[in-house]
Amino acid sequence: MPAVPSRPDGSAGPVSVADVIVVGAGPAGSTTAYHLARSGLDVLLLEKTAFPREKVCGDGLTPRAVAALVRMGIDTSPAAGWIHNKGLRIVGGGMRLQLHWPELASFPDYGLVRPRLDFDDLLARQAVKVGVELRERTQVTGPLLDERSGRVSGVLAQEVDDAGRRVGPQQTLRAPLVVAADGSSSRLALSLGLVRRPDRPMGVAVRTYFRSPRHDDDWLESWLELWDRSSGREVLLPGYGWIFGVGDGTSNVGLGILNTSDAFGKVDYKALLHRWVASMPAEWGLSAETMTQPVRGAALPMGFNRTPHYTRGLLLVGDAGGMVNPFNGEGIAYAMESGEMAADVIVSTAARASASGRERALAGYPQVLKQAYGGYFTLGRAFVNLIGNPSVMKLATRHGLAHPTLMRFTLKLLANLTDPRGGDAMDRVITALTRLAPAA
């Protein structure tokens, strides 16, 4: 990484120079950095914590995420520590249905489970292997703005200690482009006035781990009936619970709820998780005595809930741009894919001879995202509004599982797993729906 001993204006403090600075080394940031470096760019990846570190997640990866891992050159074999799964087991309405991941040309036919404690570290190290400079315990305190244009020209940062306290001098880190991969709160985006859109859905997820004999289950299990009985009456919530075997003697157990229900924000989600777990069969081993970690929660920013995704030299990827799938709460696949798309756009600017040409290329990034996800996310927003009605949610749960063909179609739709060119009749219907839906 090129460096100069002082700022151009002669003031004190270290100054670093890179082609691109990526803020946040989660799946979105590490993937962006990896593909940029593979294209020959000088990349600085900043992470405010140190690996390995926890992140609240279900740890389950659909075939869509598996494909993104393969494109990063990551070995996803069981020998490399990955737990493979065959598909989704759905429980609800007194029924249990197992649906294999579809066989497609576009995606593999298996999913994975890997704890984020290990997963994020692995992705960051893969980026380092191709030349990315990773700086851990480096907290970005704000954007560096060009005084004349107001354009982002880098970031201000400071080292943090093990307790998360800022230490040492403020650093001025310069680059012509910055990528915000700093999660759902995205302080970097907020500093430029990019706030969360109230017309887009949000979710909340809570999870913990239990020692369980089901730790090596080769299906992802989803429970569609989450009842809130805290008010003295039964309310069916829009969301689902999950049990994902981690393969190390533990299972990841959690639930996710959407904000399209009147109950959102009024439910004690941790208590709801404990009540749901208490209803499980005793032989599953889910109890207070077998819980290995505290219950932790996180927000799920869905359906492009922060826009625009490019402004003044800053690109948003992953959760920073609200790219969680509204249909199923999946975020990792879209974090990684948006990182690839951002990298492609950034690399393409190098071929532009003029500053105005480069800016036009960068300004096209939001349209690239809309073409990829816009119509699909619009359908997802309509879906979450529908199931926010308890009557609709109850009808879907009680009657949908009785029709396996309908549920196979639903799995393809909710997991966004289709072959857009060709494919079967289900693929063609889903592709037509997403093309007809406005990419707002």
Q: What is the pLDDT of residues 393-423, one digit of tens each?
A: 888 877 777 888 999 999 999 999 999 887 8
Contact predicate 162/138, CB 8 Å: no
What does the alpha-carbon distance between residue 365 and residue 180 come to, in Å, rounded to a whole number?
Answer: 14
Measured CA distances, 195 to 12, 34, 149, 172, 305 (Å): 33, 28, 22, 25, 9
Does residue 145 register a pLDDT over 50?
Answer: yes
What does the alpha-carbon distance between residue 379 and residue 375 come to, in Å, rounded to a whole number?
Answer: 6
What does the alpha-carbon distance between residue 396 and residue 402 come to, in Å, rounded to a whole number?
Answer: 10
Does residue 5 register a pLDDT over 90?
Answer: no
The average confidence (pLDDT) of the chain is: 92
- Summarised one tens digit per residue, pLDDT across range 162-198 is 888 999 899 999 999 999 999 999 999 999 999 999 9
Contact predicate 294/207, CB 8 Å: no
Q: How many helices (H) and strands (E) does the chain have?
A: 12, 23
List beta partners, residue 159: 138, 167
DSSP 332-349: HHHHHHHHHHHHHHHHHH
Among 5-14, 74-83, 364-373, 378-387, where is mean pLDDT lowest? 5-14
The label of the residue with tokens 């393809």 reads: 412
pLDDT band per the 50, 70, 90 thresholds, residue 10:
very low
Helical packing angle, 404-415 and 390-400, nearest 10°: 130
What does the alpha-carbon distance between residue 151 and residue 215 come to, in Å, rounded to a whole number?
Answer: 50
pTM: 0.94
Contact predicate 29/37, CB 8 Å: no
What does the alpha-carbon distance between residue 113 and residue 318 come to, in Å, rounded to a whole number?
Answer: 20
- Summarised one tens digit per residue, pLDDT across range 297-340 is 999 999 999 999 999 999 999 999 999 999 999 999 999 999 99
Q: How large is the average pLDDT for residues 19-30?
A: 98
Contact predicate 427/418, CB 8 Å: yes
Does residue 224 register a pLDDT over 60?
Answer: yes
Does residue 206 register a pLDDT over 50?
Answer: yes
**What is 3-82+115-198+302-376's CATH number?**
3.50.50.60
Structure tokens at 11: 């003031």
Does residue 159 register a pLDDT over 90?
Answer: yes
Q: How large is the average pLDDT for residues 119-135?
A: 98
Among 71-80, 95-104, 230-239, 240-249, where is mean pLDDT lowest? 230-239
What does the alpha-carbon distance between residue 171 and residue 280 come to, in Å, rounded to a whole number?
Answer: 52
CA dihedral 344, 107, 205, 193 (to 10 degrees): 20
Contact predicate 255/241, CB 8 Å: yes
pLDDT band per the 50, 70, 90 thresholds, residue 208:
very high
Report the share of the chain in percent with pLDDT over 70: 96
Looking at the chain, the domain(s) classified CATH 3.50.50.60 span 3-82+115-198+302-376
Looking at the chain, the domain(s) classified CATH 3.30.9.10 span 202-300
Exposed, middle or buried by CB within 10 Å (0-12, 13-18, 19+), for 164? exposed
* CATH topology for the 202-300 domain: D-Amino Acid Oxidase; Chain A, domain 2 (3.30.9)
Structure tokens at 260: 């399209």
Does residue 390 register a pLDDT over 70?
Answer: yes
Number of C-beta neighbours around residue 404 at 10 A = 11
Residue type, 94: G
Q: How large is the average pLDDT for residues 10-31?
A: 83
pLDDT band per the 50, 70, 90 thresholds, residue 427:
very high
What does the alpha-carbon distance between residue 113 and residue 85 come to, in Å, rounded to a whole number?
Answer: 8
Contact predicate 388/261, CB 8 Å: yes
Q: How large is the average pLDDT for residues 205-222?
A: 96
